[in-house]
Chains A and B, each alone.
Chain A
């Protein structure tokens, strides 16, 4: 329980990695980087519970596992329920004297499908019961693992295999679920949004999430070159642009009430136009090719600006 979070590069190098090489995530996927940064924030014995998703499937293809810490997977919809069970089990084992450690950190990880849609019921239940779990969602904007189907986290205008773009439709027409705010509405102690590009911010927030008593929630953006049809080397750049364009603003929410904008977002004077974020991605190509969707593109920009202004108001930032 005494291990410090590693923020400086020298400390990071000394910290044990929790994910090994040889996992079969796609080239350029940001999720292993997210797990690596998560490992930098750990403070002692940790258990990871995972919902089905790219990360679960590709890191544990039998007979291999890339995880170096205890890891459990059950089903798509119940990562948070399993995490609750793990917390209770350790509590009982400790009471009966069968387990020496005072405390075990339990982390639940889900993709955006397993969090925004399928696992939402069990997530909400866990938050309501107040189990001491950190839930992290790595949000790549669709069910990338099963073949890029739209999810609640898909951005408007994004083309997926269940929201095709063409003459009739500009891709997904609806807005993205504001998951961090929905979770914050449960009045849990800590909610934060992070981006792997801003690594210091990421590690510090994750450490805060581990340290609070009760449930905490982390929303990380995770660029997916395969599904976003972007270049594999551009993943971190897109993670940065997502913050700069206001698509994924970085903020924290304490006890569901107190909003606080984080440094990287606070320093933004004016939002970068979303075109900069969309152009490197093939999934938004139709918005530029077909002149009839120009209006829709402006509509997306307006939505994002509205959300940004509202967030600024909540955080008390001018």
Chain B
């Protein structure tokens, strides 16, 4: 957000919903979660998804493309809280120091 005074919307209104994505919270992280695809149930058969449900920062992307399942961390927003690491039923996530 680096608009000049005459570019700011009238009354300082926020016009774009969800524009918090412009603010990157990834720098808060001291530990980084790393995904291990070999044992992950989402990669295997597209079930589970517990990490995605519990992630408070919406930093996990579960992608389904042409019958294949992909998993991706959005390190721009992940704050490294470790909820996904603690809750993963197959221990497919490990935490590494930044």
Contacts and interface: CB of A to CB of B under 8 A. Distances in A.
B17 A65 contact: yes
Contacts of B90: none
A234 B81 CA distance: 9
Contacts of A25: 56
A65 B56 contact: no
- What is the size category of the interface that chain A forms with chain B? 35 or more
Contacts of B85: 233
Most central of B20, B22, B48, B74 by chain A CB within 10 Å: B20
Contacts, number: 119
Interface string B10-41: 00101001111111110011000000000000
Interface stretch (A31-39, A178-186, A206-214, A285-293): A31-39
A21 B81 contact: no
A22 interface: yes
Given A32-B56, A32-B57, A65-B14, A233 B86 contact: yes
A27 B17 CA distance: 22
Interface string B72-95: 001011011111011100000000
Given A22-B22, A28-B82, A36 B58 contact: yes
Contact of A199 (B28, B47, B53, B74): B53
B53 A233 contact: no
B70 to A, nearest CB: 12
Given A28-B56, A36-B58, A68-B17, A232 B82 contact: yes
Interface string B38-64: 000000001111001111111100101
Nearest to A59: B20
A232 B55 CA distance: 12
Contacts of A62: 12, 14
Given A17-B58, A64-B20, A9 B49 contact: yes
Interface string A61-92: 01111111100000000000000000000000
Contacts of A12: 49, 52-53
Contact of B56 (A9, A20, A30, A234): A30
A233 to B, nearest CB: 3
Interface in A233-252: 233-237
Given A36-B58, A62-B14, A199-B53, A27 B74 contact: no
Contact of B74 (A13, A21, A67, A231): A21
Task: Pick the 8 closest A-B CB pairs, nearest first.
Answer: A233-B82, A20-B18, A28-B81, A27-B79, A22-B20, A21-B77, A66-B20, A32-B56
Interface of A: 9-10, 12-13, 17, 19-33, 36-37, 59, 62-69, 196, 199, 225, 231-237
9 contacts: A9-B52, A21-B21, A21-B59, A30-B56, A64-B1, A64-B22, A65-B20, A233-B81, A233-B82
Given A21-B59, A31-B56, 15 more contacts: A9-B47, A9-B53, A21-B21, A22-B22, A26-B79, A27-B81, A28-B56, A28-B82, A36-B58, A64-B23, A67-B17, A196-B54, A232-B81, A233-B86, A235-B81
